[in-house]
Amino acid sequence: MLDVMFRQCAGLDVHKKSVTVCAVTEDEAGKVRRTIKTFGTTTQALREMAAWLGELGVTHVAMESTGVYWKPVYNILHESLEVWVVNAQHIKQVPGRKTDVKDAEWIATLMRLGLLNNSFIPDEAQRDLRDLTRYRMKLTNERSAAVNRVEKVLEDANIKLSSVVSDIQGVSARQMLEAIIAQKDDSQELAELAKGRLRNKIPALVEALTGQVRAHHRFMLRELLEHVDGLNHRLQQLNGRIEYLTLPHARLIERLDAVTGVGKHTAQIILAEVGASVAQFPTFNHLASWACMCPGNHISANKRTSGKTRKGQKWLRTALSEAAWAASRTKDTYLSAQFHRLRTKRGAKRAAIAVGHSILTIVYHLLKDPEATFEDLGGDYFIKRSKGDQERRAVKILTTLGYDVKLTPVAG
């Protein structure tokens, strides 16, 4: 027999145009009453629902995190009630027994018995920042796709510019593309538009810029470049707004930026997704689990069948993965050493997830202690940690190669 955790609660089955509510109330005599009612999702209808729940004495309500449809309900109800937004996977009904009323009753039953876990819902300011950083990530991906389309058009025109120029969004490449659009076909003249160190590659540019450009290619290039320019402008506007919203946390952004692999944009994403405080996460393991940056559990009959990470917090997970790859390319750092150490055993992708987990652990401690700062342990950390093993391994290799090895410590 399960104990009752909430005696006055309700379950909500939320849809785009309607909300089915099951209110479960218990009087002083212990008699339980279930009341079902359906409301619309307009602001006025939701306020009527909040007043109706208040009249019944309901104190806690629970609902699935269904797309974005839970947000209008949450915006109205959280002012007067404690609202739980629950992962839909945690409250699945038995197949073949699904109606809106039954779903609401099932959610209410689970809520009453304390069998639900409340999702982390940040405050309004953090939700606004999340919208901006997530939209920026979408636009950045869209810009990358547009640049890739530019390269495809050039390949179709027999122009091999990307084989010589590392960044076709650079100043020199852009001027060459503009000249191609302006119907300039002389490859020597186009190559002379190169600037800086790219001028050392003029002979290669002359060969790469010799192609078969048609009017169709010029039209496509003009459209794509205008699209890229528009995206750049919108990204500039977004960056300005994000800078404004993160001004109160400028010191925190600076501390996060100091972590190996974490840039300013990644620090802003971490602030938007996790928040300026980690009070909602008892330990760094809870944060790693919430961010889906740790191995999954799937053990049956004492056999581990899968250790794949869960698919959940994709925004933070993507940012941490990018930071891990950036950290792997640094020199003489702990995170780079960790990546290369794990890559030989587990592969590059798993190593990147492990480094992302380490970055998130560092972030947790930086957020938990406002006075903490990041100090890199150095690229030789793992060697020093197992000095004896490293010595024996080196001696064994040299002995195998036919050397007589005698180790003499260096003085000082």
Model confidence over 290-317: pLDDT tens digits?
999 988 777 777 777 767 788 778 899 9
In this prediction, residue 84 carries a pLDDT of 96
Half-sphere exposure (CA, 13 Å, Cβ side) for 328?
21
Alpha-carbon distance of 54 to 44, in angstroms, equals 15
- 333-353: burial string, b at 16+ Cβ within 10 Å, e else: bbbbbbbeebbeeeeeeebbb
In this prediction, residue 94 carries a pLDDT of 62
The more confident residue out of 404 and 156 is 156
What whole-number percentage of the chain has pLDDT above 70?
Answer: 98
Q: Which helix (H) or strand (E) holds 300?
A: strand 299-300
Alpha-carbon distance of 376 to 74, in angstroms, equals 42
In this prediction, residue 234 carries a pLDDT of 97
Alpha-carbon distance of 222 to 227, in angstroms, equals 9
In this prediction, residue 406 carries a pLDDT of 85
In this prediction, residue 277 carries a pLDDT of 93
pLDDT beyond 90 at 88: no
Confidence of residue 370 (pLDDT cuts 50, 70, 90): very high
The answer to whether residues 19 and 12 touch, using CB atoms and an 8 Å cutoff, is: yes
In this prediction, residue 96 carries a pLDDT of 65
The answer to whether residues 354 and 338 touch, using CB atoms and an 8 Å cutoff, is: yes
pLDDT beyond 90 at 325: yes
Torsion of CA 32, 36, 42, 47, to 10 degrees: -30
Confidence of residue 98 (pLDDT cuts 50, 70, 90): confident
Alpha-carbon distance of 131 to 143, in angstroms, equals 18
Alpha-carbon distance of 405 to 395, in angstroms, equals 6
In this prediction, residue 62 carries a pLDDT of 96
pLDDT beyond 70 at 89: yes
Residue of 406, 405, 322, 332 lying closest to 360 (CA atoms):
322
Confidence of residue 339 (pLDDT cuts 50, 70, 90): very high
Give the chain's count of helices (H) and strands (E): 16, 7
pLDDT per residue as tens digits for the range 2-17: 788 999 999 999 999 9
DSSP, res 31 = -
pLDDT per residue as tens digits for the range 176-203: 999 999 999 899 999 999 999 999 999 9
DSSP, res 222 = H
Q: 111-125, 199-213, 298-312: which range is least confident on average?
A: 298-312
In this prediction, residue 1 carries a pLDDT of 63
pLDDT per residue as tens digits for the range 144-170: 999 999 999 999 999 999 999 988 999
Strands 32-40 and 60-64: unpaired
Residue of 311, 287, 257 lying closest to 368 (CA atoms):
287
The answer to whether residues 128 and 135 touch, using CB atoms and an 8 Å cutoff, is: no
Task: Compute φ and ψ for 403, nearest 5 degrees.
Answer: -100, 150
Q: CA gyration radius for the chain?
A: 29
In this prediction, residue 2 carries a pLDDT of 75
Class of domain 9-112: alpha beta
In this prediction, residue 93 carries a pLDDT of 65
Q: Tell me the domain boundaries of the chain.
A: 9-112, 125-245, 248-368, 387-412
Confidence of residue 228 (pLDDT cuts 50, 70, 90): very high
Residue of 260, 255, 285 lying closest to 337 (CA atoms):
260
Confidence of residue 410 (pLDDT cuts 50, 70, 90): confident
Q: pTM of the entire structure?
A: 0.89
What string of DSSP letters covers 167-211?
-TTSHHHHHHHHHHHTT---HHHHHTT--GGGGGGHHHHHHHT--
Amino acid sitting at position 64? E
In this prediction, residue 412 carries a pLDDT of 59
Alpha-carbon distance of 259 to 314, in angstroms, equals 21
Mean pLDDT across 229-248: 97
Q: 92-96, 235-239, 302-306: which range is least confident on average?
A: 92-96
Mean pLDDT of the chain: 92
**In which residue are the tokens 């939209």 written?**
135
In this prediction, residue 259 carries a pLDDT of 97
pLDDT beyond 90 at 385: no
Sheet holding 9-14, edge to edge: 32-40, 18-26, 9-14, 60-64, 82-86
Q: 173-177, 220-224, 378-382: which range is least confident on average?
A: 378-382
User: What three-state secondary structure class fits 289?
Assistant: helix
Select 125-245's CATH number: 2.60.40, 1.10.287, 1.10.10, 1.10.730. Answer: 1.10.287
In this prediction, residue 7 carries a pLDDT of 93
